[in-house]
Amino acid sequence: MTTFIQLHLLTAYAPSNLNRDESGRPKTAIMGGVERLRVSSQSLKRAWRVSETFEDAMEGHIGTRTRLIGETYVYQPMKAANIDEKIAKSAAEEIARQFGTPKKGSHQIEQVVHISNHEIALINTLVETLINEKRAPNENELKLLRKEQRDVDMALFGRMLASSPDFNVEAACQVAHALGVSAVTIEDDFFTAVDDLNTGENDKGSAHMGEQGFASALFYTYICISRDLLLENLGGNEELTSRAIAALTETAMTVSPTGKQNSFGSRAYASYVLAEKGNKQPRSLAVAFFRPVRGEDQVQVAINNLKQQRDKFDAAYGPCAEKHYEVNVSAGEGSLAELLKFIAA
């Protein structure tokens, strides 16, 4: 039986623009017939992956997502070593091709790909050999993709290689888009910038005018981790699996998306977290918020709705989780330290 760890988070943000659409306004979604604020799962995972909290906890076990494999790891080192331009370009293209389709006339590949530290080390070793021998790689040397020694972020969030599906990694962690529990109206902030060297004698106007959208919401975020799949992805390393789950949990509770941080200072910790562990089919509790939360005390109403929805599901289908732990900041219940112990056990 697969062990699932489910995290339900409620995180409140003051006016901000955490995740922008193509027009620069906060992303939204319609749920329950009304517009809600939204933060995409891609935005959340990116913010978590590159945060100091996650990097400090998983130092040495975080890979790289890039299109610049050929340029950064091959072409530049070979050119710095004065290798012939034709050889350097050929080597960069052939090595990059192992991870994706190179762009025409470029060392970049067409799609961002996740590569592990182990694969980067193999590339570096090969490039050192090519520099010493002043040549391009042969066919056997180009077999650089590896299934073993996967990094934690790849094990959690997966990897898809259309040209080499044997080296795909099934994600052990599923992250839903974070959605506001209440209806939202996006407002626009009109602002101006003043030129410090303009004395105002000839021109009293501003040096720049602009506007940006913002809104505020209490977000519901749902995360589901297959512990068994994560353990498999990490080669059966129990200690690293437990550390990865704890690191992801702490990061999700304490790290905010990076959009417009300098303009809004939108840093927030989760106000409420429900963590569940069990073997039954997981389920989100998002239906608790299809009716928009209203009123002055939205945090407490949202907490009540979430717990009531869990109880209703349990009554209908049987308990989804064998164990659970809650952190309720406003009620002074639970702590991050105890939650991480529960999650990692």
Same domain, 71 and 49: no
Same domain, 40 and 177: yes
Q: Is residue 159 one of the residues assigned to a domain?
A: no
| pLDDT exceeds cutoff 80 at 204 | no
Same domain, 14 and 127: no
Average pLDDT over residues 254-262: 90
Same domain, 104 and 241: no
pLDDT band at 231 (very low <50, low <70, confident <90, very high): very high
Q: Is residue 89 one of the residues assigned to a domain?
A: yes
Q: Is residue 197 one of the residues assigned to a domain?
A: no
| pLDDT exceeds cutoff 90 at 201 | no
- pLDDT at position 191 is 79
Average pLDDT over residues 242-266: 93
Same domain, 105 and 134: yes
Q: Is residue 199 one of the residues assigned to a domain?
A: no
| pLDDT exceeds cutoff 90 at 213 | no
Among residues 113, 22, 99, the alpha carbon closest in space to that of 66 is found at 113
CA distance 252 to 235: 24
| pLDDT exceeds cutoff 90 at 53 | yes
**What is the residue-averaged pLDDT of the chain?**
94
CA distance 64 to 16: 29
Same domain, 44 and 178: yes
Q: How many structural domains does the chain have?
A: 2
Average pLDDT over residues 169-192: 93
Same domain, 281 and 221: yes
Same domain, 108 and 240: no
- pLDDT at position 23 is 87
CB 84: neighbour CB atoms within 10 A? 13
Same domain, 134 and 177: no
CA distance 306 to 288: 6
Residue partners of 75: CB distance under 8 A and separation at least 6: 88, 89, 91, 92, 107
CA distance 58 to 52: 10
CA distance 174 to 49: 14
CA distance 263 to 214: 10
Domain that holds residue 272: 4-60+171-187+214-344
| pLDDT exceeds cutoff 90 at 241 | yes
3-state SS record for 225-263: EEHHHHHHHCCCCHHHHHHHHHHHHHHHHHCCCCCCHHH
- Distances in Å between the Cα of 77 and the Cα atoms of 63, 152, 160, 233, 271 are 20, 27, 27, 32, 48
Among residues 101, 203, 99, the alpha carbon closest in space to that of 159 is found at 99
Same domain, 178 and 266: yes
Q: Are residues 254 and 269 in contact, defined by beta-carbon separation less than 8 angstroms?
A: yes
Q: Is residue 193 one of the residues assigned to a domain?
A: no
- pLDDT at position 148 is 85
Same domain, 26 and 76: no
Q: Is residue 155 one of the residues assigned to a domain?
A: no
- pLDDT at position 206 is 78
Same domain, 123 and 264: no
The two counts, helices (H) then strands (E), for the chain are 11, 11
CA distance 182 to 53: 29
Q: Is residue 129 one of the residues assigned to a domain?
A: yes
Q: Are residues 182 and 36 in contact, defined by beta-carbon separation less than 8 angstroms?
A: yes
Q: Is residue 157 one of the residues assigned to a domain?
A: no
pLDDT band at 327 (very low <50, low <70, confident <90, very high): very high
pLDDT digits (tens, 9 = 90+) for 58-83: 999 999 999 999 999 999 999 999 99
